[in-house]
Amino acid sequence: PRFTRTAAHAGAYVRFDSPPTSPSDGTFYPANEVLEGLQVPAEGKHSVYVWLRDRAGNDDYTTAVALPEALWYDGRPPTTVVTVTGGMGQNNGYRGPVGFSMSATDAASGVAETRWQLDGGEWTAGNAFTLDSDGQHVVRIVSEDEAGNVEPAHVYQIAIDRQPPLA
């Protein structure tokens, strides 16, 4: 966020997550025109409290402006657990349909979407799908959080062979 000050202000105090309890109970940011460079203390949602100091050194923390959950920080991608089900045959291949179910979590901003890709094709959003065509396949699965972080792809090499051997 950007806070604009007037010429009479020397800067602003900023405190995260709980109201100030004394005049200097925050970090002081000297300001020319705009208060910049705020850094949240950790991942998650943070409330911000801002109060001003004038050029004479006067400040009043009791007039702090409260901005509930004004800053959200999420620097980590979500985590997806993938469950693969199906009837295994020999040589790590499947004898029939292969099911994929995905469950993603992200504690900071929340999961925006889970998507999958088959054999380099288009990405499809969803939390489950079934692969039911014979052959060698490559499945990629990713999740993205509300902050735009995307986890590294889960990659599966899947072979399906439903045909009995020829005599």
Of 44, 9, 49, whose CA–CA distance to 30 is shortest? Answer: 9
In tens, the pLDDT along 113-166 reads 999 999 999 999 999 999 999 999 999 999 999 999 999 999 999 999 988 777
Is the overall model pTM greater than 0.85, yes or no? no
- With 0-12 / 13-18 / 19 or more C-beta atoms within 10 angstroms meaning exposed / middle / buried, residue 160 is buried
Rg, the chain, Cα only: 27
pLDDT for 132: 95
5-55 tens-digit pLDDT: 455 778 889 999 999 999 889 989 887 667 777 788 888 889 999 998 888
Q: How many CB atoms lie within 10 A of CB 64?
A: 21
